Structure 1
Amino acid sequence: MTAEIPRRIEPHSAEIGTILSLIQTSFAYMDGRIDPPSSMLRLTKTAISEQAARGEVWVLGDPVVAVMFLTVKPGRLYLGKLAVKAACRGKGLARRLVNCAEARALALGLPVLELETRVELVENHAAFARMGFVKTGEKAHSGYDRSTSITMQKRLS
């Protein structure tokens, strides 16, 4: 397995199914822990192909062991669906993908990298804080009267 250099996935990549499986497996621990359930449950191969076409999908490894989605938003680059295969965690792969996201944001002239994490996933809050992200807001999913997710941003120079 080679996981050193992130590579961008094309919309019709043969790896789309592998990426879907990796995200589903990596996010499975959230089942019953977060409310509302993860949008990952609605993710499809078609949706990943569309993300690769209208945004960006980056991976590490061959076979794929880590993935992230990038989407340009006004004044910022949004990082979503960051997932690392369980057996490969703790090896800096998420940090490599975040570094790639930072480089992409700067290349696109965007000064901020943004992500959202669920309120319940305090270990993710801490991990992103260690990578330089700070909490900038909270929001509630539709139909909820309490905060369900936290927005975190990292200003880039």
Structure 2
Amino acid sequence: MKIVPIDENFHRWSELLQLILSSFAYMNGRINPPSSALSLTPQSLAEKTLNEIGYVVLEDEDLLGCMFLRPEPGCLYLGKLAVAPEAQGRGIGRLLLQVAEAAARERLLSALRLDTRIELTGNHSVFAAWGFAKTAEKSHPGFDRVTYIEMRKVLAV
């Protein structure tokens, strides 16, 4: 298993989209508003890598996981962390987290930040076990209730 950056040689956008959609499928019907993953296309994923740092996890030629990182003031945003359903429970998420931490440190950023939906309490627990703490409750535009929480992990730089 290896984690590699998504670069100009990457062309497996349709497969990457399928990985994200299958990984996020359990959210369908559980969260409101629906996941932004549902609006992704192969082209929008390719465009995402122009402004963000993408990584994929490969085992032989199989895509097993991915994440996208975006530098922000003082932190590195961790988004679209996805692990193929058949590969979950193998430590792939933790491996991606280690890469995200290293990427933040390389950029002299002292924290990782992510958002997770309020309904997905299992995700809250996993991220807390990985060292993230809830820092804010927020709402998507047009909602008068909390729809997601922000979590941060402070890093030793």
Q: TM bucket by the smaller chain?
A: over 0.9
Matched, 1:78 2:83: no
Question: Does the CA-based 8 Å contact 1:55-1:71 persist in structure 2?
Answer: yes
Equivalence for 1:55: 52
- Secondary structure of the residue aligned to 2:153 is strand
Matched, 1:14 2:11: yes
1:7-156, aligned counterparts within 5 Å? 7-11=4-8, 13-61=10-58, 62-156=61-155
Structure 1: give runs of 5+ residues left out of the alignment: none
Counterpart CA distance in 1 for 2:121 and 2:144 is 20
1:19/1:103 Cα in 2 relative to 1: closer, same or farther (>3 Å)?
Answer: same
1:87/1:156 Cα in 2 relative to 1: closer, same or farther (>3 Å)?
Answer: same
Moved >6 Å (runs of 4+): none
How many pairs does the alignment contain?
Answer: 154
1:102 partner letter: E
Cα offset for 1:17?
1.4
Counterpart CA distance in 2 for 1:103 and 1:85 is 23
Counterpart CA distance in 1 for 2:145 and 2:47 is 31
Structure 2: give runs of 5+ residues left out of the alignment: none
Cα offset for 1:22?
0.4
1:148/1:11 Cα in 2 relative to 1: closer, same or farther (>3 Å)?
Answer: farther
2:84 partner letter: K
1:109 partner letter: L
Counterpart CA distance in 2 for 1:20 and 1:11 is 17
Cα offset for 1:151?
0.3
Counterpart CA distance in 1 for 2:142 and 2:7 is 35
Once the two structures are superposed, residues 95-148 of structure 1 have per-residue CA deviations (whole angstroms, 9 ceiling, x without a partner) of 000110000000011101000000000000000011000000010000100000
If the length of structure 1 is used for normalisation, what is the TM-score?
0.95
If the length of structure 2 is used for normalisation, what is the TM-score?
0.95
- Secondary structure of the residue aligned to 2:54 is strand
Aligned-CA RMSD value: 1.0
Question: Does the CA-based 8 Å contact 1:11-1:48 persist in structure 2?
Answer: no
Between the aligned residues of both structures, percent identity stands at 44
Counterpart CA distance in 2 for 1:129 and 1:16 is 31
